[in-house]
Structure 1
Amino acid sequence: MTTLASLLGRRVAVWGFGREGRAAIHALRKRLPALPLALYCSEAEQVEARAFDPALAVFGHEPDAAALAGYDVVVKSPGISAYKPAILAARERGVQFTSGTALWFGERPDARVIAVTGTKGKSTTTALLAHLARSLGVRTALAGNIGLPLLELLDGEAALWAIELSSFQTGEAGPVELGVITSLYEEHLDWHGSRERYVADKLKLADAARTLLVNGLQLGLVERTEAHPRRLLFGRPDGWHVHGGWIHRGGARVFDAARIAAPGAHNALNACAALAALEAVGYDAPAAAPALATFLPLPHRLQPLGSHDGLDWINDSISTTPQATLAALDSLAGRAVTVIVGGHDRGLDWSDFVRAMEARADLRIVAQGANGPRIAAALRDAHFPGSLAEAQNLAEAVEAARAGAPSGSVVLLSPGAPSFDQFRDYAARGRRFAELAGLEGHAAAGIAGLGIA
């Protein structure tokens, strides 16, 4: 793994000025204050970047292959696809690409790490893991893709590191004591280029994990990981699983799933993943289980915002796949629901969602955003029996949802798509939804427990 010290005397650039990029700049300045450093950011970020670090050589544009070839090492932010033609060409010319994640692992090879990834469930599982470990008195770090770059905790000390990794980061992890894969669906095709590459990149965590814990309910995931020499499963009757509304460890009932503050069967399964992970690294998971009742649900993930205009508003802006929207709807079974779907179109297949809607005459759907027309057309072609409306953007969608929703029902934002057609990220979309609902401020809270405690 690349260490910060190994960059001394080399030509280094940072690409990206989000939180990951800033953390990388700060760490490099702290450890290598005399190292000349270049930054590539957007044109709009140039002034802020120069104020952040006046010694930076700031370029307000995306580098091409020729520009990248002028450096020995480029510290790339995770949102920048590793498969960009300029990056592939620069690699062929000997340029090394690394990241804040890779640098942290290079600096902390002896850290006790549980790394969690998955198309859905990874953030909640990682946060649950940290919460449960802390309930046992374990000094635990909660960081990574969940919202706190690892380099921001470079000098922190913890007995256990609960780290979330996105599919952009799984190939950058050093050896981890336990890797956890919560689920595997189609996502981020614009970054990875194909479903096959997305799956392969996600499963790179298996290569880094001494022990691997995977969702035993996903047969494809089970098959793809069966060669791992130390693989464990959750979700099956012989391990941590959900049955009859209870979390079980084998045949023993451990915890009433209805007492978990985070609603839905999928969150009960996330709790099983966290408990199984704790047990896999030697902690007393049954003793930690009661702390599930005090876990604070993550913002923008089936987050109840409150009631307004006679309606209950739920913010699930983190939903960026159709499967996540289906899980959100399942968690609200028995309620009258108006669901707002649609957003940035990255070509995901909505056919499973459409098929599931064929029997949902009780449901109201508002399709909005860049892929809203495509979703609405597919629903009409399938003769969706419920109420269907279209809107150009989120503001119009909220008005359409409010106009026809029966009193006492739920308005659910669960887009099944990224936010980039209208918003910087899912959090900005969730905050805007709360404002449009008349409940501004409810979606602004950050994730509880980030850092070391």
Structure 2
Amino acid sequence: MGLGHFGGGLGAVKYLLDRGAMVTVTDLRSADELADSLSQLDVSQLEALVLGEHRDNLFTRAELLVVNPAVKPGNRYVELARTVGVPITSEINLFWQHCRGKKLVVTGSTGKSTTASLIHQFLQAAGVPSRLGGNIGVSLLPLVDEITPDEWVVLELSSFQLAALDELRPRPDIAVVTNFFPNHLDWHGTLDAYREAKQTAVCWQTKNEIAVLNADDADSALWPTDAKVVWYGKECWRDRPGVVVGDNHLIVRSSSGGWKIELTDLAPYLRTPHGLMNVAAAFGAVTVALGIPVDKLAGALLNFQGLPHRMQTVAEIEGRTFINDSKATTPEATIAALKSLLQPAILIAGGKDKGADLTELAQTIRSKTKAVALIGDTATALEQLLTTPTSDHARSASALRIERCNTLAAAVEWAWQQSAPGDAILLSPACASHGEFANYEQRGEQFIEFVKSVIQ
């Protein structure tokens, strides 16, 4: 149920077909909307392909229902299957049940993709067999039989995936939590439900497992777990193993030694406060938890290229820097992006309303940008927040240039017109992409194309 665009649905279909199952795929999207996923699938192998609708009989007659994590709780068709006793699972649940490798889970509201990728690259640099998968867009399910017990599987997991996984009481060998902010409230319904889903990463662990937690995050630092805790952050203890984050350096202490890491030891992409926290979390997992010396990781740390759609510099045009941060789907991610910039910024923000509080984002936009183009469903709310004077920001509110744009293309054009040499034009939406775009990746790719049109 739900082929989707991110690979999980496709991975589940391939896995089941390889095992001789009779697979029916049903998705509310059309064939055109799913063209990228369908092109990677031999449709002739399917029992049926139903697009643009769901049919009741598919759910009542199934022997197993594999649900895409994007499907909201309480979905009528899922509940219909449940009432007649159909077993319900997900792609990540199937993987968890059949994976023989050691599991390292990374979750959080922001920074989890970069942290998971760093951990994977660190393990590779140290010669430790590892694979990267989960919400980062790669399904490892079709390859699960190839994974050996001595391999590490680094899984970036979303709250949607963890909510489904909870019924298995998962106990990852190592769990890393980056932070916790309100997000996806349109899916979970309440902040408590979102928190409970995220806590699945650590709540079933025992003293035999390790949880790497952010000492600076007031919420996730208090999550219940029986695991041995490795702390990282500015506020963590300096006299025991862990990672201390300074303004321009890290101190790593483990059973295998101690190291001071300067900004110059990091790839340029990571030389920001947000980047330092990601690096600290990765060292907490690899050096403190697993005992791998920093010396073996130096090359991977300095040469880390970052990920597409995450503070990705895509062009330098007449002194302007265009930055694609389409992966910033929360206010906190965009706030971090704006605070990391040294040059004047023109921001493109907005998208699907997930129920997040945009007040702090508006304050940061006022203080950190010279102009902002607003797009998507949240444009009205953001504009209202930005144009309402406050005692702290009345002056900057009146000076800030604001434009409502119907499309991303129009926003890029307007931002270019407002810019001057030395400026950064930043796409960092703070919201999901659903609406004008299928996902954040398509949004980022379109931004890059629109930037090319500026060059022309």
The residue type paired with residue 415 of structure 2 is: A
Match of 1:192 among 188, 192, 200: 188
Question: 8 Å contact 2:245–2:277 — kept in the other structure?
Answer: yes
Query: Could you tell me which residue of structure 2 aligns to residue 267 of structure 1?
Result: 275
Question: What whole-Å deviation, never above 9, does each CA across 1:307-359 have from its counterpart, x for those lacking one?
Answer: 02431111100001111110001110x31111111111222210111233454
1:169-180, aligned counterparts within 5 Å? 169-171=161-163, 172=165, 174-180=170-176
Give the structure 2 partner of residue 378 of structure 1: 385
Verify the 8 A CA contact 1:343 1:419 in the aligned structure 2.
yes
DSSP 3-state at the match of 2:181: coil
Task: Compute the displacement of 1:155 (Å).
Answer: 2.8
Which of 202, 225, 228 matches 2:226? 228
1:142 corresponds to: 132
Aligned to 2:158: 166
Deviation, structure 1 residue 112? 0.7
Match of residue 333, structure 2, among 298, 310, 324: 324
Listed one character per residue, the Cα deviations across residues 2-52 of structure 1 (whole Å, up to 9, x for unaligned) are: xxxxxxxxxxxx542542222112111212x2x322221235239958852
More displaced stretch, 98-107 vs 256-265: 256-265
In the alignment, the residues of structure 2 paired with residue 257 and residue 128 of structure 1 have an alpha-carbon distance, to the nearest angstrom, of 16
Q: In the alignment, residue 257 of structure 1 is paired with which amino acid?
A: L
Tell me by how many angstroms 1:280 deviates. Answer: 4.6
Identity %: 26
The aligned residue for residue 396 of structure 1 is 410
Q: For structure 1, which segment, 351-360 or 289-298, has the greater mean C-alpha deviation from structure 2 after superposition?
A: 351-360
Inter-CA distance 411–150: structure 2 relative to 1 (3 Å threshold): same
Q: Which residue of 1 aligns with 2:48?
A: 57
2:311 — aligned with what?
302
SS class of match (1:138) = coil
Q: Is the 8 A contact 1:133 1:288 kept in 2?
A: no
Q: Distance in 2 between matches of 1:359 and 1:317?
A: 21
Is the 2:59–2:80 Cα contact (8 Å) retained in structure 1? no
Change (3 A) 1:88 1:215: farther
Whether the 8 Å CA contact 1:144–1:163 is kept in 2: the answer is yes
1:352 to 347, 360, 372: 360
Partner of 2:324: 315
- Give the structure-1-normalised TM-score: 0.86
In structure 2, C-alpha distance between the alignment counterparts of 1:405 and 1:330, rounded to whole Å? 19
Counterpart position of 1:249:
252
Paired residue for 2:423? 409
SS of 1:328's partner is helix
User: CA 1:25–1:403 in 2, change beyond 3 Å: closer, same or farther?
Assistant: same
Residues 126 and 297, structure 2, Cα contact 8 Å, conserved in 1: no
For structure 1, list consecutive stretches of 5 or more residues without a partner in the other structure. 1-13, 442-453
Question: How far apart, in 2, do the equivalents of 1:61 and 1:435 lie?
Answer: 29
Structure 2 counterpart of 1:162, which letter? V
Matches within 5 A, 1:105-144: 105-108=96-99, 110-144=100-134
Deviation readout 1:222-250 (Å, 9 max, x if unpaired): 12x14434233211253213213112125
Letter in 1 for 2:263: A
Partner Cα distance (2:346, 2:127) in 1: 42
Unaligned runs of 5+ in 2: none
For residue 231 of structure 1, what is the amino acid of its counterpart?
V
2:67 equivalent to 1:81: no
Q: Partner residue of 1:20?
A: 8
1:133 and 1:220 mapped to 2: Cα distance? 29
Measured against aligned partners, the alpha-carbon deviations of 1:386-417 in whole angstroms (never above 9, x if no partner) come to 22222122111111111011112110110101
Match of 1:448 in 2: none
- Change in Cα spacing, 1:237 to 1:303, as seen in structure 2 (3 Å) is farther
Q: Which secondary structure does the structure 1 equivalent of 2:268 belong to?
A: coil
**Aligned in 2, Cα 1:80/1:53: closer, same or farther, shift over 3 Å?**
farther
Structure 2 residue 217 is matched with structure 1 residue 218:
yes
CA distances 1:204-225 after superposition (whole Å, capped 9, x unpaired): 11134432212111011112x1
> SS of the residue aligned with 1:438?
helix
Change (3 A) 1:440 1:78: farther
Deviation by residue 1:61-120 (Cα, 9 ceiling, x = unmatched):
443666423223201122222332432353244222111111111112x31111111111
Aligned length, in residue pairs: 422
Match of 1:119, SS? Answer: coil
Tell me if structure 2 keeps the 8 A contact 1:72–1:94.
Answer: no
One of 134, 139, 152 as aligned partner of 2:142: 152
So what's the TM-score if we normalise by structure 2?
Answer: 0.86
Q: For 1:59, what is the secondary structure of its paired residue? A: strand
Distance in 1 (CA, whole Å) between partners of 2:303 and 2:220 is: 31
Shift of residue 292, structure 1, vs aligned partner: 0.6
Cα separation, partners in 2 of 1:364 and 1:37, compared to 1, 3 Å: same
Q: 2:376 corresponds to which residue?
A: 369
CA distance in 2 between counterparts of 1:185 and 1:175 reads 23
Q: In the aligned structure 1, how far is the partner of 2:230 from the partner of 2:82?
A: 36
